[in-house]
Structure 1
Amino acid sequence: MTESQIDFYRRLAKALALQFGPRCEVVVHDLEAEDLDHAVVAIENGHVSGRSLGAGPSHVVLEALQGDPELLQDRPPYLTKTIDGRTLKSSTVFIHDDEGKPVGILAINYDITLMAALEQELASFTQTPDDGRDREPEAITRNIADLLDDLFAESVRQVGKPPALMTKEDRVRAIGYLDRRGAFLISKSSERACEFFGVSKYSFYTYLNEAKAEADEEA
């Protein structure tokens, strides 16, 4: 992002936060930041998610960097969750340059924990047993370490086994999932993955290459 873009979106973030109050967090991510570990270039009401200026990328940022830029679309309100268990209503808007390339993200996260609790209390009086709906909000992490831990946990859920019980095929599948989610765009993530899966660096890159080859065959 250019300095003028960052300045504009910093002022926009401040205006939105003032408009909607202290429960509304507004975050600007720079997708062109030299150091991805510090992608947050503007944030208001960071207490909502526990993040601050200079924090690392979110799941949405990694997916944007890993995916096809032409397929990126703004995300209408969806549910997310914080490390301490609060529920947020979030929206994501991609910022593009003059050529249409995505260069940043404006994210709005509104803490609806109290309202959701009230809604649930009211629903207990009005819902019938068939009204229940399963939904798993996306996690909002505070830092790079938390983000990687969350991605590793997701890869374990995908395979259905802890790393100690995984076969080679399981590890290829888990590492391929992490690659698709953009985990290895984060600095030193490969070393963390080696520790998590209990494999050597050579084995890790062998599994990663196999996963990429399988993905290319399926494409």
Structure 2
Amino acid sequence: MSVYDDLDFLKRLIKGIAEEFGSDCEVAIHDLKAGYEHSIIAIENGHVTGRKIGDVASRIAMETIHSNLQHEDHYSYSTRTNDGRILKSTTICIPDKNGKAKALLCINYDITQLMVSNKIMSDFISMKEIKNNDEANVAIPTDVNQLLEDLIEESYELIGKPVSVMTKEDKMKAIKFLESKGALLIKRSGDKISKFYDISKYSLYSYLNSNED
């Protein structure tokens, strides 16, 4: 059976693929019996490689023609146009009734702009290395009360023990941590911090004014 017996279907197939993936996707059918130099019998979006019906096959297609028409597919390999654009290519053998390839369906997708965009996006989303773990993955609060609660939780984790067994020095360290993070700038934060650490507001401000480390 000749590839031309299926040509109407193959033309519909490659048109469907090209329509699905857009103008950067070239899809071609090669007749392996037509020879290397004039193997293309149907093509969509030929502007990708600058080819048309009756033009030459790719290197992979040539190797398939040269290998006694053995069935061997090639998926997602890299090719390049004469003007340097990069393509992501796939070559699928279409077998005859004996299992040998009579034709090739070749897909060449121009990914040049995608690679440029990927480089731009990679540069854009890259971040400096975080040396201070306190800066890593900091949550953005929805309101000032949530911000204060988050800071109090961080101060608690800094000490690493229940409030009931914290020493004066522990609580002083936690209070000074909160001050360094700007927690005391929040309205009525003193009341909430004092309550959490079970100290009076007098003690809170005493800790803040202390010169002890």
TM-score grouping bracket, smaller chain normalisation: 0.5 to 0.7
SS at match of 1:104: strand
Alpha-carbon offset, residue 124 of structure 1 = 4.4
Alpha-carbon offset, residue 73 of structure 1 = 2.2
Q: Give the number of aligned pairs.
A: 126
Q: Distance in 2 between matches of 1:81 and 1:36?
A: 18
Q: Distance in 1 between matches of 2:66 and 2:3?
A: 21
Q: Distance in 1 between matches of 2:106 and 2:3?
A: 18
Answer yes or no: is the 8 Å Cα contact 2:3–2:31 preserved in 1.
Answer: no
SS at match of 1:18: helix
Question: Which residue in 2 is equivalent to 1:39?
Answer: 39
Question: Which residue in 2 is equivalent to 1:82?
Answer: 81
Q: Alignment identity in percent?
A: 41
Q: Distance in 1 between matches of 2:38 and 2:111?
A: 27
Question: Which residue in 2 is equivalent to 1:64?
Answer: 64
RCO comparison, higher one (Cα < 8 Å, 6+): 1
**1:104 and 2:115 aligned:** no
Per-residue CA distance 1:65-88 (angstroms, 9 max, x = gap)? 222544x42112111111111111
**1:118 and 2:117 aligned:** yes
Answer yes or no: is the 8 Å Cα contact 2:91–2:104 preserved in 1.
Answer: yes
Alpha-carbon RMSD: 2.1
Question: Which residue in 1 is equivalent to 2:13?
Answer: 12
Q: Which consecutive unaligned segments of at least 5 residues does structure 2 have?
A: 128-213
**Structure label with greater radius of gyration:** 2
Give the counterpart letter for 1:10 in structure 2. Answer: K
Per-residue CA distance 1:125-182 (angstroms, 9 max, x = gap)? 649xxxxxxxxxxxxxxxxxxxxxxxxxxxxxxxxxxxxxxxxxxxxxxxxxxxxxxx
Q: Which consecutive unaligned segments of at least 5 residues does structure 1 have?
A: 128-219
Alpha-carbon offset, residue 12 of structure 1 = 0.7
Question: Which residue in 1 is equivalent to 2:90?
Answer: 91
Structure 1 residues 64-213: aligned runs within 5 Å? 64-67=64-67, 69-70=69-70, 72-124=71-123, 126=126
SS at match of 1:32: helix
Question: Which residue in 1 is equivalent to 2:23?
Answer: 22
Alpha-carbon offset, residue 90 of structure 1 = 1.0
Higher deviation after alignment, 99-108 or 4-13: 4-13
Alpha-carbon offset, residue 32 of structure 1 = 1.1
Q: Distance in 1 between matches of 2:45 and 2:85?
A: 15
Alpha-carbon offset, residue 51 of structure 1 = 0.6
Q: Distance in 2 between matches of 1:66 and 1:2?
A: 18
SS at match of 1:37: coil
Q: Distance in 1 between matches of 2:108 and 2:96?
A: 24
Structure 1 stretches of at least 4 aligned residues deviating more than 4 Å after TM superposition:
124-127
